[in-house]
Copies of this chain bind each other. A is one copy, B any other.
Amino acid sequence: MGALHDGHLSLIRHALQENNEVFVSIFVNPTQFAVHEDLDAYPRTWEEDMRKLQQVQEEHAASTGPNKDSVIRGVFAPTVKVMYPTLPPTSDIAGDGSFVTITPLGSQLEGASRPIFFRGVATVCMKLFNIIQPNRVYFGQKDIQQCVVIKRMVKDFHIPTEVRVIPTTRESDGLAMSSRNVYLGERRRKDAVVLSKALFAARDLYNSGELLGKHIRQAAYDIFSEEALAKRKDGKLGGSGRIEIDYIALSDPDDMRMIKDFQKVDPGRGAILSAAIIVWPVDSPKGDDELDQRSVRLIDNVILEPLKKSFQ
């Protein structure tokens, strides 16, 4: 969808290393935005995006890595009318059109609060795959449910492509890269690190041998509580925006079926621990950049890899 950051560029770097020709698609897809979500406000940064792609290509050509002759052959940036040639794209779950639906996968977690989201994602990806006919497609692990939905779509519809999931690119403090991070502003940006910190803590606990769903998720919740407590001691409570936990979920890696609190992670399969938070506007704005703040919803996840035999 454009607004390229290092996370996107990482996908493109991987694609260049593994293929001879790379196509980049940039399309802000209307059918995955709900009516109340602000499609028009989504950042569009075409000039800067092209500069970044140029740079990635030059770095790749100058590198000593594999496939250094491979190139970004094209950027596919279609109009809405090209992608939705007959009926206008709808944001209504009951709206008419030609759609791919993947359920129950697409109705859980991110799909629970955004019922049209994965219908829009699956639909637009099916179209992109048919137009470009890629040998491999690259998705970022940060949108883990999207990765699982696309993998399922490729399997169920026998789409002749390979889905590559590239690990999440993070800022130095751990925050997952996202086009939405720019909306945070300085103070909320610092606080948002709690999300990755919580997930890492829970992963550490799992890696030490803890398998019970309740305990693993609690380790993540504890970090949020500690952070809030630390702020209170510093007298900072209310200084930044309130952080609301939307969900912290432990799921099966293949179908994202929930692993409940009283269930254990199968150490032979591992799991996905994913979370979404809402960072509310700061309570007392200071300076212009904190005026007119809006709440920002952030997602992140870690993969709990299958454990070595010694823990099983």
Q: Could you tell me which A residues sit within 8 Å of B by CB distance?
A: 84-86, 96-104, 126-127, 130-131, 133, 152-153, 155-160, 255
Contact = CB atoms under 8 A, between A and B. Distances in A.
B104 A101 contact: no
Contact of A99 (B96, B100, B104, B130): B100
B156 A130 contact: no
13 contacts: A84-B156, A85-B155, A85-B156, A86-B152, A96-B103, A96-B104, A98-B100, A98-B156, A98-B157, A99-B100, A101-B101, A126-B157, A133-B160
Interface pairs A-B: 3 shortest CB-CB: A98-B156, A130-B158, A96-B103
Q: Is the interface of A mostly helix, strand, loop or mixed?
A: mixed
Nearest to A83: B158
Given A98-B157, A99-B100, 19 more contacts: A85-B155, A85-B156, A86-B152, A86-B156, A86-B255, A97-B103, A97-B156, A98-B100, A98-B101, A98-B102, A98-B156, A100-B100, A101-B101, A126-B157, A127-B157, A127-B158, A130-B157, A130-B159, A131-B158
Nearest to A153: B98
A80 to B, nearest CB: 13
A96 B98 CA distance: 18
Nearest to A122: B98
A146 to B, nearest CB: 15
Contacts of A101: 98-99, 101
Most B C-beta atoms less than 10 A away, residue of A97, A101, A155, A157: A157
A77 to B, nearest CB: 15
A311 B99 CA distance: 40
A233 to B, nearest CB: 48
Nearest to A154: B130
A101 B152 CA distance: 17
Nearest to A97: B103
Contacts of A84: 156
Nearest to A132: B158
Contacts of A159: 130
A29 to B, nearest CB: 14
Nearest to A130: B158
A159 B98 CA distance: 13
Nearest to A149: B98
A152 B126 CA distance: 15
A183 to B, nearest CB: 33
Contacts of A255: 86
B158 A98 contact: no
A117 to B, nearest CB: 16
